[in-house]
Structure 1
Amino acid sequence: MFIFASGTLVPFMCVVLLSYHTMSSILSGNLESSVRSNLKQAELSLERTISNLNHVSQQLALQGSIGKKVDSLLSTDKQFERAVLTEEINTELNLVSFTNPTIGLMMYYSKVKGTYMFNSTTVKEDYEINGLPLLAEYFRISYFGPHISNERYNDEYVISALRKVDLPGDPDDMYVYVESGFKMTPSIFENKLEDASYYLILDNDKRIAFSDVPADFAMNHYFNDTGSNNGSGLQSGYYWFESTSNQGWSVVSLIPKDEYNKEKNRWVIQMIYLFLLFLAVSLLIAWFLWKMVYVPLQQFNHQIKSITLRNTVLAEVPRIKIPEFDFLLKQLQNMKNQISELIQEVEVKEKGRADLEVEKLLYQINPHFLMNTLDTVHWLAVMNGQKEIDKLVVSLNKLLYYNLGKRGQVSTIREEVDSIRQYLTLQQVRYDFAFDVRIHVADDVLELAIPRFILQPILENSLYHGLHDEGYIQVEVEKAGGQIIISVYDNGAGISEEDIGKLLHQKQVEQQRAGMGIGMSYVKRMIENQYGSLASLEIHSQLGKGTTVYLKLPSMEVLPND
C-alpha cells in the first residue's frame, strides 16, 4: 500500500511542482508582456499627441503663418487692416481645428495680464493654466499631463502645451495654449486588466503628473523606482511596470498584488484539493489490490515456480477460491505447449502462403493454350501480310513466354530488360502512341541474376501515373557498393503519399489495370521472399514534378532461394 501510494503521489507532486513553476513563469511572462504592450501603446499615443501639440503650436507661434498675422495685428492701428487680419486669423484657426480633429481649445494667452484672445472655442470662466500638472518642458514649450479641459462644456481629460511666442509687436509675454483631446489613448483609463489595473504618468523628474490611485500615489509626489528590475518592481502593495519615452516622461502601470497573484493562488487551492483526492483514491485502490490481487498472486507465483522447476504438467491444481486464478493455473502448461506448436506451424504456413501467392499471380492463365494460339495468329498474319499484327503477336508471345516461365522464377537483367522492351512495343501498338522511354543498363550487370518479372510492374506504374504528351520515362540499371540499383524515373504529375501506400500494400485484384495486372505489391513481396531484408523498394515522388522508383537488390550470380 505504501509503495503504490508513493508511486502514485510522488509523480503527482513532481508534476505539480513543475507545472506550478511553468505556470508561474507563463502567467508572469504573459501578464508582463501584455502590460508592457499596453504601456508601449500608451507611450506611443502620448508621443503622437505631444508631437501634434508641438506642430499646432508652431503654426500659432511667430514662425508660423498665424503667428505672423497675429504679430501684424498687434503692430497696426488701422481698423480695416485689423478687421481683415482678425478674419484671416480666425479662418486659419478653423482650418487648423478641421485638419486636426483631436485638437480642442487653442488661444493666445498673456501670463502678465491673465487674458486670452483668438480662442478657438469658449473658455471656462475659472480656467487655470499656471497650476496645471507639468509633464515635460523643453525648447521653450511646457507640456502638461492629463487634466480637465479649460474648454467650457468639456470635462474630459486633455493634454495641453504652452509655448512662448515672443511677438515683436507685443511688449507683454504672449504664449500659445493648445489642448489635445485624450480620446486617442482610452486604454490608459478604460481598458484595465479585470478592472484592477491603474496608471501613473511621470514627468522627466519622476514626479507624478497623473495618478489613477491618488490615495497610494499622490500627484506632485516623486515616484520611487529604486531596486527596480527592467523597469518593474513591487511598491505599496502594487506590482508596477514602467515605460519611459524618448523625451524622458514615463507611463507606469500598477496592478494590485492580490490581483496579480489571484490565478496562482486559485491554482494552488485546486491542487491541494486534487492532492487530497488522489491520496484518498490511491489508498483505497492500494487496499483493494492487496486484498484481492496480491494475496492470490503469491499462490499463483508459487505454482509457476514449481512448473518451471519440474517442467511437467501439474497433476493436481490447488484451489485458491478465485475462479480466474484457478483457470489460469489449469491452462498454464497447456498454453505453453500450444504456443510452441503454433509458432512452428505459423512459420511453415506463412512460407507456403508467400510461395502460393506468387505462384497464383504468375499462373492465372494457361500458358500453353495462349502461346499455341498466338503462334497460330502469328502465321496467319504472315500469310496475309499483316505486319503490324505480326509484330504485335510476336512481342506478346515473347512477353508471355518470358513472364509465364515456370522454372525457378529466375532470370537475368538482360532477359528482364528484353522483356520490358517487348512490353513497350505492345503498349505502343495498343495506344498508337510513341512512348519516350530511355533505358540505360551498365554492361557489368547484364548477366546478374534477378527474380523474374519485377521490372514490368514498375514500368507499368510509371506509364499509367507519370506519362503525358511531353513526358518521358528513364530506366537506369547499375551496380554500386555490391548492390544492383534499378531506378525508374518519370516527369509526370507525381503521386501522393496515400497513393504510394496503396501501390505498395493493396491486394493484387485492386491493382489490375493492364497486361498481367500484377502491381507494385507483387514486386515488394517477391523481393522480400527472395532476399528478405537485403533488398528494398522505395518510391519518392513530388506532386507536379515526377516520381522515382528505386529497387535495390544484392548483387548475386544465383538467387538465395534457387
Structure 2
Amino acid sequence: MIIKKFKLTTIRTRIILLFIIVAIFQIAVTAVFAVTQLKPHITNTYIRHQSQMSKALFWQLINEKSKMENYSVNIIGDSEIQDFFHQANKRSKEEYTPGMTTNLRNRILSYTENDNMIKAIYLVDNNNLVYSNYMNRAVVNFINNKIDVAASQKGRPVWDTDYNGKDVIMYRAVNNTTTDLTKKVGAIFMVIDLKIFTDTLNRFSLDTNQKYVLLSKDERMKVGDLEALQVLGTSEEEFLYHNEEYLKNYNDNKDWAIFAWVNKSAVYRPVYVILRILLIEIMALMILTIGLIIFLSGRITKPIADISRAMRQMGKGNIGINIPVTSNDEFGGLAETMNRMSKRIEELVVKIKEDQRNLRSLELKAMQYQINPHFLYNTLDSVHMFARKNNDIQSSELVIALSNFFRISLNHGHEFIKLADEVQHAVYYLEIQNIRFRKEFEWKVLVEEGLENLSVLKFILQPLVENSLTHGIRNVTYKGRIWLKIYKNDSKIVFEIKDNGIGILPDRLEELRKSIEEEDKETDLNKGGFGMRNVHQRLKIFYGDEAGLHIDSEWEEGTTISFQIHYDMCISYNE
C-alpha cells in the first residue's frame, strides 16, 4: 500500500524526490566547497599568520641571542678579566690555586646581576683551568668536554643545550684585546636560563596546538619538540607526524633556524563548524518544503492531468485538439501555449508535406545535372577527335583546353579544390582566350614551392584573370601581360594577379571598390566587377573580412588585384 501511494509515476512523489535530490546536491556542493575552497583559504590564511608570527618570534629570539652575546663581548673586553687571563696563563697547572680575587669575583657577579637570566659565568685559561663565582661540578665536566669546541670556533659564540635540559650554555674563545687580537688567552662559558627562549616561544604561540623548535645550524642548540626534528627538515609546507597532518613554517639566518607547526585538524575546526551549521539549516529547510509540497501538489496535479490527456490525444494524431483554459495562472498560460502549439504543428505538417514534394523535384533535377557533365565530356571528346582527324590542330587544342576547364570547374561538386588545380583552371582559361585572340597576350605563373597541395575555395582565380584580360589588356595596342603570383608571407598566403593593361581611372577605381562590397547590387557585366564581387564576397564568407580583395591601379600603367588567406585555414587537400 505504501509503495503504491508513493510510486514514482505521480507528480507529487516526483516533486518530493526531486527536492530531496536537490537538497542532497546542495549538501554535496557545500561540502565540496568547504573542502576545495574554504579549507585551502583558511589554510593559506593560517600559514600567512603563522609566518608573520614566526618572523616576529624569530626576531625576538635573535634579539635575546644578540643581547647575551654582547654581554660576553663586554666581559671579554673587560680589562680586569684580560689581566686575570694574562696572570693565569703565566702559572702552570702545578701552581693552580682554586678561587679568584674578591674584585674579580665581584666583577663577574655584577654581570650576572645585570640580567637574572645569566646564572653563572665560568672563565677557562689556556691551561684548561676553570674559575667561577659559583663553581658547579656538572658545569666543570661540561666545560672539559667542550673546551676544544670553543677553541675551534676562533672567537665565534657557540650555543649548546647538551647540559641539564633547564639551561643553555653559551661559550666562546677569548682573545687578547690589548696587544695581539689573534692570540687566544682563554675561554668564557655562560650558563643561561633556558626560559629566556622557552618563555618567548610560549608567548608567541597562536594557541595550544602551535608548536615551535629552535635549532642552531650546528645542531648543538635544540629547544622544543626534538622528536619532531626528524620530519621538520623537509621542505614541504605539510608533513605527517605521529599519523597526524601538520602545517609547517620555517625561518632562519646564518646561525639559527626556527620551525613552527600546527595540527591541521585545529586549523580546519572552524570549517567543520560552518559545515555542520549549513547542513542543519538545509535539512530544516528540506523538511519544511516537503510539507508545503505535499499540501500544494494536489492543487497542481489536476491542471497538469488535463494537459497530459490533451497531449496524449495529440500523440494519437488529433493535432487540432483545443484545451479549455480555466484559470489565469501559469497553468492557464500553459494551456494557451499548448493550443497555439497545436495550431502551429498543424501548419508545420502542411508545410512539411509541401517541402517533401519540392525536395523530390530537386532530387530529380540533381540527377539530370549528374548526367549532363558526362554528356558534355563525351561531346567535347568527339569534337576533339573530329578536329584531329581533319588536322585542325588549333581547334583540337581549344577543345582540350575547354574540356579541362569544365572538368576542373565541376570538381565532382566539391566547394574546395587543390591550389594547383585552381591555378591550372585559370591557365586553361588563358589558353582558350589566347587561341581566340591569336596570342595577343602572354602570362606567367609563379607558385611558391610547397603550396600546391593546399586546399582553397574554388573559382577565386579565374574570375580575376578574366577581369585582367577583359578590362585590362583587351584594348591595348601593345603586347599584353598577366602575372599570377602565389607565395607565403609569415602566416598568410598571398595571391596577386597583375596586368600591364590600360589601368583604371581614380573615380572608377573608387566606384569599383565600393561596388564589390555591395552584396545585393545588380551590376552591368559590360562595366566589369561582377565576377570580382562574387569572389570578394565568397572570400569574406569562408575566410573572414580580412580575406577580401584589394585593388590597386594606375591609369595607363596596369592593375594589381590581391588577397590574403591565413595558412592555417588551407589544410592539405584530400580527394
Q: Please indicate the TM-score interval, normalised by the length of the shorter structure.
A: 0.3 to 0.5
TM-score (norm 1): 0.42
Q: Considering only CA atoms, is the larger Rg found in Structure 1 or Structure 2?
A: 2
TM-score (norm 2): 0.41
